[in-house]
Each structure stands twice: as C-alpha cells, then as structure tokens.
Amino acid sequence: SQGITESFGAAIHALNATHLTDGVIHRSKRMMLDTLGVGLLGSRTAVFNKALMYSQRSSVWGRSEITLPPHYAAFVNGIAVHSMDFDDTWHPATHPSGAVLPALLALAETLASRPSGLDLLLAFNVGLEVQGRLMRFSREAYNIPERFHPPSVVGVMGSAAASAKLLGLSPAQCSHALAIAVSSAGAPLANAATQTKPLHIGNAARRGLEAAQLAQIGLEGNPAILDVANGLGVYYGDYNPSPMADSGAFRWILEDQNVAVKRIPAHLAMHWVVDAALAARAKLRDTVGTFDLSQIRQVTLRVPPSKYINCPLPASEHQARHSFQFNACSALLDGQVTVASFDRAQINRPALRELLSKVEVETPEDNPPSFDKMYCEVEIGSAEGRSAAARCDTFYGHWRKPLSQRDLVEKFSVNASSVLCPEGVEGLIDVVG
C-alpha cells in the first residue's frame, strides 16, 4: 500500500486548477493581497535591511533597483512579511502565507515560460494545504506553541510543496522535496520576540524553494520522511500521521478553516487584549465621564498561560509585539494600537511605563492557550473605587469574524502605500483580484 510521504507526493503532483473551489480562491486571494501588503510595509524595517545587507538577482519587494538570486529574494521577502508580525495566522497555529508566497514569486521569475495567475494560485494553495495537513498530525499543534516556532517546521514544507507544484515535479520528486525540506526545519521559540523570529519565515521560504529545486535535479531524501517517528515526527511529542487523500476525494482545509487577518502588527493573542482594553476604557469613560489615566489604580489582565507573550516591561519593538501588558496599556493610553505604537519613542514614554507598573496578569483555569478557544478580560480599577471590565472572545479579523473585503483592501492600501504610489497600489489590487 501507499506510504504517507508517497501519498503527499502523489497529491501535490495530481492537484490541478479544476480542484480549486470558489471559496478557496476567494480566501487565498485575500491571503495573497494581505501578505503582499505586510511584506511591502516590512521592507521598511530594520530587520529587513540587515537581511538585505547580508544577501546582496530576482526582484525584492519595495526595492525596484535591487535584484537578488531567487533564494535570497525568497529569504528577504519572507523576512519582510513577518518583520512586524503583521501576517496571517491559521489554526492549528502557524503563519501560512509568508513561507509560501515569497518562494513562489521568486521562483516564477526564473521559469522559462511565465506561470499564469491560476498556476500561482494553485501552487500557493498546495503550499497552504500541506501545512494544514501536517499540523493535524499532532494535537499539540492546535495550541499556542511552546517549543518550536511552527512556520519553521511546517512553513518550510509548505514552501517545498508549493515550489514543487510550480516546477511541475513528478510524484517521487515531490516526496523528495518534502524529505529534503525536513532537514531544514525547526527553530526554537526562544527566538520569538527578537529580530531573529522573522528569519524563521524567510528561512522557510528559501529552504523550501531550495528543496524543490534540488529534488528537480535528482537529489533524494528519505522517501518515508513523514511516515517515521524520527522524520518530521521529531518536532511533535504526539505525532500521528495519516495519508493525504488523492485528488478524487479531495477537500481543501482552507474551505473549512479560514485564517485570521491581523489589524495590528503584533502576536495574534494581542488582538484579544487590545479589543478588551478598548471596551473597558469606553465603559469607564461612560461611567466617570472622562478617562483620566492618573486615576487608574490597577489594571488586571485575564489571559491564557503562555510564557513568551507575558512580557511585563518590553525593551524593544519585538518584545512589545509579544507583550499582553504593553498592548493593553497602549490601547488604554491612546484609544488605539497602530503600526506607530511600536516605535521606540512610544515604547519608552513615561506615561506608558507608569501604566505598565500597575498591571497584574492572571491566567484563569478556563482560558486555554489556543487561538480557537482563548479569551482576554481587562479590568480597570480607579482610585475612587470604580471599576470597569470587558471581555473579548473573538476579535474582528479572527476566522470566526473575518475582516470585510473593504477593510482587508484598506489594510493592504495603507501598508502598500508606504512603498508604492497610488497607481501601484491600485494595480496590485486589480492583479490579485
């Protein structure tokens, strides 16, 4: 009988554009547009510029005067996408698009015959699908991660699958591309909240592309890499793989499980705490008539337990993007959290530092570290003994409450216009469709 890795190779090879449904096309186009926008904005960040200095021929997003070899273009553009933690998040937890789209666009420029939009869309969806299926081999993967950063594990596999699809590899070559990619997988979560975290996405895009190109010229890996416990299974304590359905009985995971699209450039969990903080702020203002920060005695956050996003006094923008405390206090102080909230000058404001000193964090038993089930509650206590509390179960942008098309395009336009002229922004919206 067919092995699991073999079934993946066969499915990656066999899927074609007729398998794409209207729902999947709609959702994946939104993901592409959002990813391009956050990547263009990200091409203005310090971490992107460091990667670019290191990488100096394929074109680089937002830099018309520079071209790089395809691997480096995939690398730096992947970094741009995740540089501000502004890219999409899926369930089980990973950032699916940033590992795939930069690899495909870099690869597309190298091909003798230019791929069509539909070719790109199909390869992109194959890259998403493989990530979704691999994460479903583990119950651990459903929760906010603790050991490995998921894009470094499944993202490189998605990039390899998507690149293999665009290259038109045989079923056996597709399996080998996955096997080669596994040997570039795995980055520890200790590098979250640092400048190195965006490299996880850049590396996933680059190494997956590389794996597919090596498979194309005949390099081989373990043909049972997904079947065995010491293959991809090393990254999960409860690895239980199953075959990928052949194209006959096929249904896309994206059809049933949408992604979350971020409204603020921060770790996904921050969206709950910001929405709860804004609601609590409005309640207190309505009760007291004004909102006076000097009157706040205490701020209590009730959040899921997760060490790497519990950061009481962030010292850098990357720590701030992973801090329940910072995001709640920014929302209370400014009435909003935006791209500018994470500037160094904003992070170091005395008023913000003072408010941070009043924050207490609680982790209730009924609040699991899962993007599907978690909630955040913010309670503000004032000096006069008044208090206001608000809870967020599902923020706007979550897969249960998706951004409207208008708001998604608005996010793209604001992000892309940091680099492109208005005609360029409109042109990209038209091309992605």
pLDDT band at 81 (very low <50, low <70, confident <90, very high): very high
Task: Please report the pLDDT score of residue 57 as a whole number.
Answer: 62
Task: Please report the pLDDT score of residue 292 as a whole number.
Answer: 80
Work out how many domains the chain is built from and give that number.
2
List, for residues 220-269, the tens digit of each pLDDT value: 999 999 999 999 999 999 999 999 987 677 899 999 999 999 999 999 99
| Phi, psi for 339 (deg, rounded to 5) | -55, -40
30 and 119: one domain?
Answer: yes
Task: Please report the pLDDT score of residue 187 as a whole number.
Answer: 97
List, for residues 193-228, the tens digit of each pLDDT value: 999 999 999 999 999 999 999 999 999 999 999 999
Q: Evaluate whether residue 253 is within a structural domain.
A: yes
Task: Say yes or no to pLDDT of 65 above 90.
Answer: no
Task: Say yes or no to pLDDT of 430 above 80.
Answer: yes
14 and 155: one domain?
Answer: yes
422: Cβ–Cβ under 8 A, 6 or more apart, which residues? none
Q: Report how far residue 412's alpha carbon sits from residue 246's, in angstroms, rounded to the nearest whole number.
A: 35
260: Cβ–Cβ under 8 A, 6 or more apart, which residues? 88, 89, 90, 91, 268, 271, 371, 397, 398, 399
Task: Please report the pLDDT score of residue 52 as a whole number.
Answer: 87
Residue 57 vs residue 324, higher pLDDT: 324
Q: What mean pLDDT comes out for the span 127-144?
A: 95
Structure tokens at 118: 């539909």
Task: Say yes or no to pLDDT of 427 above 90.
Answer: yes
Structure tokens at 360: 């207490």
CATH code assigned at 280 = 3.30.1330.120
Task: Please report the pLDDT score of residue 306 as a whole number.
Answer: 87
Centre a 10 Å sphere on the Cβ of residue 46 and count the other Cβ atoms it contains: 11
Task: Please report the pLDDT score of residue 349 as a whole number.
Answer: 96
Task: Please report the pLDDT score of residue 178 as a whole number.
Answer: 99
Task: Please report the pLDDT score of residue 76 as a whole number.
Answer: 96
Q: Evaluate whether residue 398 is within a structural domain.
A: no
Task: Say yes or no to pLDDT of 1 above 80.
Answer: no
Q: Which of 206-220, 282-296, 383-397 shows the lowest per-residue confidence on average (mean pLDDT)?
A: 282-296
Task: Please report the pLDDT score of residue 219 as a whole number.
Answer: 97
228 and 90: one domain?
Answer: yes
List, for residues 10-60, the tens digit of each pLDDT value: 999 999 999 999 999 999 999 999 999 999 999 999 999 999 887 766 778
Q: Evaluate whether residue 399 is within a structural domain.
A: no
Q: Evaluate whether residue 91 is within a structural domain.
A: yes
Q: Which of 17-26, 288-297, 304-313, 363-372 shows the lowest per-residue confidence on average (mean pLDDT)?
A: 288-297
116: Cβ–Cβ under 8 A, 6 or more apart, which residues? none
187 and 311: one domain?
Answer: no
**How many CA atoms within 13 Å lie on the side-chain side of 267?**
31
377 and 411: one domain?
Answer: no
339 and 200: one domain?
Answer: no
List, for residues 146-185, the tens digit of each pLDDT value: 899 999 999 999 999 999 999 999 999 999 999 999 999 9
Averaged confidence pLDDT in the chain? 95
Task: Please report the pLDDT score of residue 295 as a whole number.
Answer: 84
Q: What percent of the chain has pLDDT over 70?
A: 99
pLDDT band at 410 (very low <50, low <70, confident <90, very high): very high
Show the domain range for 365.
270-392
Q: Evaluate whether residue 329 is within a structural domain.
A: yes
312 and 245: one domain?
Answer: no
Q: Report how far residue 204's alpha carbon sits from residue 209's, in angstroms, rounded to the nearest whole number.
A: 8
254 and 338: one domain?
Answer: no
Q: Evaluate whether residue 397 is within a structural domain.
A: no
Task: Name the DSSP class of 59.
Answer: E
Instruction: Give, in order, the Cα–Cα distances in Å from 406 to each of 103, 403, 412, 413.
Output: 27, 8, 10, 10
Task: Please report the pLDDT score of residue 264 as a whole number.
Answer: 98
41 and 98: one domain?
Answer: yes
Q: Evaluate whether residue 120 is within a structural domain.
A: yes
203 and 328: one domain?
Answer: no
Task: Please report the pLDDT score of residue 238 as a whole number.
Answer: 96
Amino acid at 348: N
Task: Say yes or no to pLDDT of 319 above 90.
Answer: yes
Task: Please report the pLDDT score of residue 304 as a whole number.
Answer: 96
List, for residues 368-388, the tens digit of each pLDDT value: 999 999 999 999 998 888 899
CATH code assigned at 132 = 1.10.4100.10
364 and 223: one domain?
Answer: no
Residues 325, 301 contacting (CB under 8 angstroms): yes
Task: Say yes or no to pLDDT of 393 above 70.
Answer: yes
Q: Evaluate whether residue 147 is within a structural domain.
A: yes
215 and 122: one domain?
Answer: yes
pLDDT band at 348 (very low <50, low <70, confident <90, very high): very high
Residue with tokens 């080669």: 180
